[in-house]
């Protein structure tokens, strides 16, 4: 089996896939309610040895889904804007293996009729992740690219109970270790690249304010397609669906606490030089009933700048 060479645009499409994938798994309505992430915006393309970058994210909470999946728009007079700046880097440590580090800075602005507006933030939960590609997409017509993913998120942020500012706007983390494991399948067809990723996430339990709680196991499924163009730009569309079981409170199942959320994202990448690229995306939780459960609905955008070394 002969390994073919990747066009630069195809390699960028790989990178774009990662950027787009990173949105569904790390985009969060509130810093206090994040899911674990094994994907960062900084996946190395096959020809890259290292990269660093920054991703800026802004999103707005437009409504919420109740425990029956019914959507309700946010009432007049209330609002929430969430911002995040992620510093990330990735390094190839094996021919097919790479590790990544992501350091988030999180800010939140909330407004309510009774409290007015408040703004705060700080460093969020740092994430370490690794990826190993057993096969690369496009190497074989019948065998897709197969990769294993793993990640751990450290409770370096400020959990809600430690927040000091009004409306807990300075909460930046979940207050617990999180870990996950996943499998990614990819296949290329000319300028097209298809991706299917599944992640399982577990959050460690914690005892806060006399409540011993463990969030349920989370399963995230992501499907997407990317298309690269002759000028090395690329576009991608992704959808993710996250399901999570009931939480456990003081050893008992907390009925009705399970979560669901669907997210759709469109992304683009534009190469500035061989070493610099910019990426952008828009994402949304469709504000319609049955697209979520026990979750806020958000819409937002990201902007990413990456510097890579080959």
Partner 1 sequence: MRRASIIAAMTLAAACGGSSSDDASGAGFPRDPYAVATSDSGALHIEVRTAPTQPPPRGTCTIELFVTDTTGAARDGLTIDVVPWMPAMGHGASVKPTITARGNGRYVLTNVSLFMPGTWELRTTFSGSLSDHASASIPIL
Binding site for partner 1 (CB under 8 A): 30, 32-33, 61, 63-64, 66-67, 72, 74-75, 77-78, 110, 112-115, 159-164, 167-168, 171, 174-176, 203, 206, 208-211, 213-215, 247, 249-250, 252, 254, 256-259, 294-296
Residue 145 vs 175, nearer CB to partner 1: 175
Spatial distance between the Cα atoms of 106 and 125, rounded to a whole number of angstroms = 9
Q: Which residue's CB is nearer to partner 1, number 92 or number 165?
A: 165
Nearer to partner 1, 93 or 117 (CB): 117
CA distance 133 to 109: 40
Task: Work out how close the CB of 304 gets to partner 1 at its nearest, in angstroms, rounded to a whole number.
Answer: 27
CB 128 to partner 1: min, Å: 21
In order, the DSSP letters of 124-152 are ---EEEEEEEEE-TTS-SSSPEEEEEEEE
- Rank residues 17 and 29 by Cβ distance to partner 1 and give the closer one: 29
Q: From the CB of 60, what's the least distance to partner 1, in Å?
A: 13
Q: Please state whether beta strands 116-123 and 97-112 pair in parallel, antiparallel, or not at all (unpaired).
A: antiparallel
Query: In angstroms, what is the minimal distance from the CB of 82 to partner 1?
Result: 11
Q: Is the CB of 157 or the CB of 271 nearer to partner 1?
A: 157
Considering the complex, what minimum distance in angstroms separates the CB of residue 281 from partner 1?
A: 24
CA angle 133, 138, 144 (to 5 degrees): 60
Beta-bridge partner residues of 248 = 214, 253
CA dist 111 → 77, 121, 167, 231, 242 (Å): 7, 15, 8, 44, 28
Q: Would you say 77 and 59 are in contact if contact means Cβ atoms under 8 Å apart?
A: no
């Amino acid at each position: 089996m002969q390994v073919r060479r990747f066009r630069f645009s195809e390699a960028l499409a790989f990178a774009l896939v990662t950027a787009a994938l990173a949105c569904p798994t790390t985009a969060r309505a509130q810093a206090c309610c994040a899911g674990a992430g094994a994907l960062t915006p900084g996946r190395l393309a096959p020809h890259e040895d290292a990269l660093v970058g920054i991703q800026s994210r802004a999103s707005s909470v437009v409504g919420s889904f109740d425990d029956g999946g019914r959507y309700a728009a946010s009432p007049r007079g209330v609002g929430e804007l969430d911002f995040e700046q992620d510093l990330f880097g990735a390094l190839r440590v094996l021919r097919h293996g790479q590790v990544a580090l992501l350091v988030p800075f999180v800010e939140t602005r909330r407004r309510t009729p009774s409290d007015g507006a408040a703004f705060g933030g700080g460093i969020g939960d740092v994430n370490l992740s690794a990826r190993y590609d057993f096969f690369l997409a496009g190497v074989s017509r019948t065998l897709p690219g197969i990769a294993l993913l793993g990640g751990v998120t450290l409770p370096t942020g400020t959990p809600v109970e430690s927040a000091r500012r009004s409306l807990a706007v300075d909460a930046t983390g979940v207050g617990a270790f999180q870990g996950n494991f996943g499998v990614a399948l990819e296949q290329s067809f000319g300028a097209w690249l298809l991706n299917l990723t599944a992640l399982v996430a577990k959050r460690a339990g914690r005892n806060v304010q006399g409540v011993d709680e463990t969030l349920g196991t989370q399963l995230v499924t992501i499907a997407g397609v990317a298309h690269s163009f002759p000028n090395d730009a690329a576009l991608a569309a992704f959808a993710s669906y996250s399901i999570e079981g009931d939480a456990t409170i003081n050893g008992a199942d907390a009925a009705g606490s399970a979560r669901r959320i669907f997210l759709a994202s469109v992304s683009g990448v534009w190469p500035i030089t061989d070493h610099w690229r910019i990426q952008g995306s828009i994402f949304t939780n469709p504000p319609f009933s049955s697209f979520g459960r026990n979750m806020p609905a958000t819409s937002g955008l990201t902007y990413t700048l990456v510097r890579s070394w080959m």
